[in-house]
Amino acid sequence: MPVSPLIELNTGALMPRFGLGVWQATDDETERAVVSALEAGYRMIDTAAAYRNETGVGRGLRAAGVPREELFVTTKVWNADRGYEGTLRAIDASLERLGLDHVDLYLVHWPGGDAGVRAETWTAMQEIAASGKATSIGVCNYKPHHLQEFLDAGETIPAVNQIELHPRLPQWVTRAFDADHGIVTESWSPLGGTSGSGWGERSKPNTLLGDPVIADIAAAHGVTPAQVLIRWHLQNDLVVIPKSSNPDRIRQNADVFSFSLTGTDMERIATLETGERVGFDPDEFV
């Protein structure tokens, strides 16, 4: 049985509020994680060409045998493929690896530093939506100044903006901009990320899952820190895609619909804001 409530996108499509992230998992790990997740009631899988595991996602989807219409599959165009021709080629290559004829959501992975390339990429994204290869299109890591370009150009507004977001980095400004323009905000590194979230020297360890405030709230509810964090995203009206390759943690992360954080819990979690990222600043990752 699907576990997640749905949210309506600006395309009219329905998106689960909760799904599985698969960054940093190999094809084989991803295949197993996708099967575990679908068995646990997940219906949304978030991958990307850059994760190099779309083939594993496709294998997992076929092995689990959930009807296509119940699934919500997201993938992303990588930086090297941005631009008009590259983006059109990239969706075909992703669909081939996934073994699907369309994805539910196709995202631009990073904005990059060139407004001209962003505009060309978005022209291709709109053609991809018109062709039915993606039901909805959106972006990742866009700040308000990037999003403003769509408004200025009178372009199709992205359905989703997927950004690094967790209690240390609640992203108030971008979230407010998204909400004002009907864009759904989706949280990446929702549990505070992995040790590789920033890549190489920029990587920072996950300190959120071990935070004493989160641990205290978890103990009071008889749940785990990860479950507290996932509830925090859901209660903030965010779409959330915790990554795990471990079947027990995959099941645990989906078991978040039978308790609620109190107003006091939410206030305590708000004190954890530091503004620190675990991944790159989009203006610096071009």
Q: Which are the catalytic amino acids?
A: 51
Instruction: Based on the shown chain and the rule CB under 6 A, indicate whether residue 50 belongs to the binding site for ligand A2P.
Output: no
In the bound complex, what is the minimum distance in angstroms from residue 252's beta carbon to ligand A2P?
5
Q: Candidates 226, 238, 261, 272: give the one binding ligand A2P (CB under 6 A).
A: 226
Task: Rank residues 148 and 246 by Cβ distance to ligand A2P and give the closer one.
Answer: 246
The residue of the chain with the least Cβ separation from ligand A2P equals: 226
In the shown chain, the binding pattern of residues 242 to 281 toward ligand A2P, with x for contact by CB under 6 A and - for none, equals: xxxxx--x--xx----------------------------
Dist. CA 135–CA 137, nearest whole Å? 7
Binding footprint of ligand A2P, residue count (CB under 6 A): 18
Dist. CA 269–CA 236, nearest whole Å? 12
Site for ligand A2P in 76-105 (CB under 6 A): none
Q: What angle do CA 164, 96, 251 make, to 5 degrees?
A: 50
In the bound complex, what is the minimum distance in angstroms from residue 2's beta carbon to ligand A2P?
20
In the bound complex, what is the minimum distance in angstroms from residue 265's beta carbon to ligand A2P?
18
In angstroms, how far is CA 149 from the centroid of its own chain?
A: 22
Task: Rank residues 79 and 189 by Cβ distance to ligand A2P and give the closer one.
Answer: 189
Site for ligand A2P in 230-249 (CB under 6 A): 242-246, 249
Task: Rank residues 71 and 218 by Cβ distance to ligand A2P and give the closer one.
Answer: 218
In the shown chain, the binding pattern of residues 160 to 199 toward ligand A2P, with x for contact by CB under 6 A and - for none, equals: -----------------------------xxxxxx-----
CB 209 within 8 A of CB 226: yes
In the bound complex, what is the minimum distance in angstroms from residue 89's beta carbon to ligand A2P?
29
Sheet with 239-240, edge to edge strand ranges: 20-21, 44-46, 72-77, 103-108, 134-140, 160-164, 184-188, 239-240
Q: Which of 75, 87, 76, 154 is nearest to 118 (CA)?
A: 87
In the bound complex, what is the minimum distance in angstroms from residue 226's beta carbon to ligand A2P?
3
In the bound complex, what is the minimum distance in angstroms from residue 80's beta carbon to ligand A2P?
23
Instruction: Based on the shown chain and the rule CB under 6 A, indicate whether residue 21 belongs to the binding site for ligand A2P.
Output: yes
Q: Candidates 74, 121, 171, 224: give the one binding ligand A2P (CB under 6 A).
A: 224
Residues in the site for ligand A2P, rule: CB under 6 A? Answer: 21, 189-194, 209, 224, 226, 242-246, 249, 252-253
